[in-house]
Amino acid sequence: MTAAVFFGCAFIAFGPALALYIFTIATEPLRIIFLIIGAFFWLVSLLLSSLVWFLAGTITENKDGPVQKYLLMFGVLVSVFIQEVFRFGYYKILKKASEGLKNISADETALSMRLLAYVSGLGFGIMSGVFSFVNTLSDSLGPGTVGIHGDSPQFFLVSAFMTLVIIMLHLFWGIVFFDGCEKKKWYALLLVLLTHLLVSTLWRDLSIFPCRRERGAEKEGWIQEEEELINGVWP
C-alpha cells in the first residue's frame, strides 16, 4: 500500500497501452478521435449491461446469498454479449465512414480498416482496463494491509496483470473481429465471443468471502476493516 505498489501496478496495467498510444495514436488526430469514440462505445455498452444487471437485481429483490453470485454471472454474460454487439455496431459505423472517406479522396493510406480495427480495439481495451482498475489503484494509495484476513497478499499485482491482459485482449479481439467482418468469416466472430466469455467468467471461489459481501462491494474486504480502524483519525 505504498507509492511503489501504486506506481508499479499502474505501469504494469497501463504501461503497454500507454506506449501503444504514444507511439502509434498520439501522432494522428484522426486516430485519437476514433480511439475516444471507441471508448465511448464501450462505455455505452457498459451502461446498458449495468442497467440490465440492476433491473435483474431489483426483480429478484436483492436477496443476499448465492442469488447475488448468479446475478453477477448473468450480468457478466449479458455484458460480454452487449460489448460484442457494440463492437459490431462500431464496425458498421466505421465501414460507412471509411467508405465515405474513400469517395471523397483517393488517398488509400488514409485510414485502412485494419488500422481502424486496431484503434477501436485499443479504445475498448483502454476504457475497459481503466474502469476495472482505477478504483483499486486509488485504494492502493491509502492505508491498509493487503491480505490481513488470510487472503492473498498479491491482490493488487494480480489485478494489475489481469487488467493488462484484458486491455491487450480487447485490442486483439478488435482486430480479429473486424477482420472476420471484412472477410465474412463468421467463425472469427464466434471465436472472439467465446474467448471473451471464457476470460470474463474466470473467477475465484466466491464462497471465501461471505461476510465481506455483506459490507458491500465498494472496497476489497480485507482492506476495509483495516481502513475502518484507521479511518477514525482520517477525515
Partner 1 sequence: MLTFMASDSEEEVCDERTSLMSAESPTPRSCQEGRPGPEDGESAAPWRGQDGEEDHEEDPDHYVCSGVPGRPPGLEEELTLKYGAKHVIMLFVPVTLCMIVVVATIKSVRFYTEKNGQLIYTPFTEDTPSVGQRLLNSVLNTLIMISVIVVMTIFLVLLYKYRCYKFIHGWLIMSSLMLLFLFSYIYLGEVLKTYNVAMDYPTLFLTVWNFGAVGMVCIHWKGPLVLQQAYLIMISALMALVFIKYLPEWSAWVILGAISVYDLVAVLCPKGPLRMLVETAQERNEPIFPALIYSSAMVWTVGMAKLDPSSQGALQLPYDPEMGGVKLGLGDFIFYSVLVGKAAATGSGDWNTTLACFVAILIGLCLTLLLLAVFKKALPALPISITFGLVFYFSTDNLVRPFMDTLAFHQLYI
Q: How far, in Å, CA of 172 to CA of 179, rounded? A: 11
- What DSSP state is assigned to residue 144? -
Q: Which of 150, 183 has the CB closer to partner 1? A: 150
Query: Binding to partner 1 (CB under 8 A): which residues in 122-151?
Result: 127-128, 130-136, 138
Q: Which stretch binds partner 1 (CB under 8 A): 24-32, 86-94, 177-185, 225-233?
A: 24-32
Q: Which of 18, 206 has the CB closer to partner 1? A: 206
- In whole angstroms, the minimum distance from the beta carbon of 92 to partner 1 comes to 18
Q: How far, in Å, CA of 172 to CA of 155, rounded? A: 26
User: What are φ and ψ of residue 2, in 5° steps?
Assistant: -115, 180
List, as one string, the DSSP characters of 61-95: TT--SHHHHHHHHHHHHHHHHHHHHHHHHHHHHHH
Q: How far, in Å, CA of 19 to CA of 32, rounded? A: 14
Using CB under 8 A as the binding rule, whether residue 61 contacts partner 1 is answered as no
Query: Cell numbers of 16, please?
Result: 503497454
**Which one among 18, 88, 199, 225 touches partner 1, defined by CB under 8 A?**
199
- In whole angstroms, the minimum distance from the beta carbon of 229 to partner 1 comes to 18
**Which one among 217, 228, 229, 230 touches partner 1, defined by CB under 8 A?**
217
Residues 162, 9 contacting (CB under 8 angstroms): no
Using CB under 8 A as the binding rule, whether residue 154 contacts partner 1 is answered as no
Please calculate the CA angle 222-225-226 and round it to the nearest 5 degrees.
90
Q: Which stretch binds partner 1 (CB under 8 A): 17-25, 37-45, 86-94, 143-151?
A: 37-45
CA-closest candidate to residue 200, choices 155, 166, 158, 167:
166
CA atoms within 13 A on the CB side of 116: 25
**Which one among 74, 75, 145, 157 touches partner 1, defined by CB under 8 A?**
75
Q: Binding string, 90-109, against partner 1, x = CB under 8 A?
A: -----------x--xxxx--
Contacting positions for partner 1 (CB under 8 A): 28-30, 32-33, 36-37, 39-40, 43, 46-47, 49-51, 53-54, 72, 75-76, 79-80, 83, 101, 104-107, 110, 127-128, 130-136, 138, 155, 158-159, 162-163, 165-166, 199-204, 206, 212, 216-218, 220-221, 235
